[in-house]
Amino acid sequence: MNKDTFDIIIATTGTILAVISLIFGIYKSRNTSLAYKRVMEVYEPIFNCLEKYLFKYNPTKEFNDAIEKCANIIMNNRAMFGYGLYDSFNEFYTNHKKKDSKQKSYVSNNFNSFSSRFLRQYHRICKDAGLPHIELSYRLNHYIYKYKAPVLLQYAIINFAQSALVSFGLGLSLAIIINYYLM
């Protein structure tokens, strides 16, 4: 491959990446304001109510009060909360209201399922809004998890995989530069 062909390939690739980045940036900026509104009006108030109860079903008075407050927020903002997550909450809430002691483990599983889905959606919405999400170290320190092992695995993957990808990218770039200028 001669130098002119290589320059054309690099210029074309750069142009294509720039156009893709521009289109992606325009698309993301349109969704950011709605995502921000969803976080501030729905997800953040719910997280503030449920933070110390996520993955910890314990039908005490304080827990019940927090659930009622969340139910009110969710019922008044169903579309902004999202219908899939609403269904998950509603299944838990309906069974929780029955107060059947025989179904306590079932209701607890419903709540754990809702907690997991809520945190995933909260992270996604925060990312879309350009806001920081709940750090894994915060989740570990405040016991916001069902099982500790998956959270630790996720923490390790995020922290070490990023370093590995950056190292791989730098190594690949260096190899291309060396190959181009020395060969």
Interval 121-178: pLDDT, tens: 888 888 888 887 776 666 665 455 555 555 555 666 655 666 777 777 777 776 777 7
Give the pLDDT of residue 183. Answer: 60
- Give the domain range for residue 172: 147-183
As to burial, measured by CB atoms within 10 angstroms (0-12 exposed, 13-18 middle, 19+ buried), residue 143 is: exposed
Residues 35 and 9 in one domain: yes
Residues 158 and 101 in one domain: no
Give the pLDDT of residue 69. Answer: 95
As to burial, measured by CB atoms within 10 angstroms (0-12 exposed, 13-18 middle, 19+ buried), residue 122 is: buried
Residues 157 and 86 in one domain: no
Residues 108 and 153 in one domain: no
Give the pLDDT of residue 42. Answer: 92
Alpha carbons 109 and 57: distance in angstroms, whole number: 9
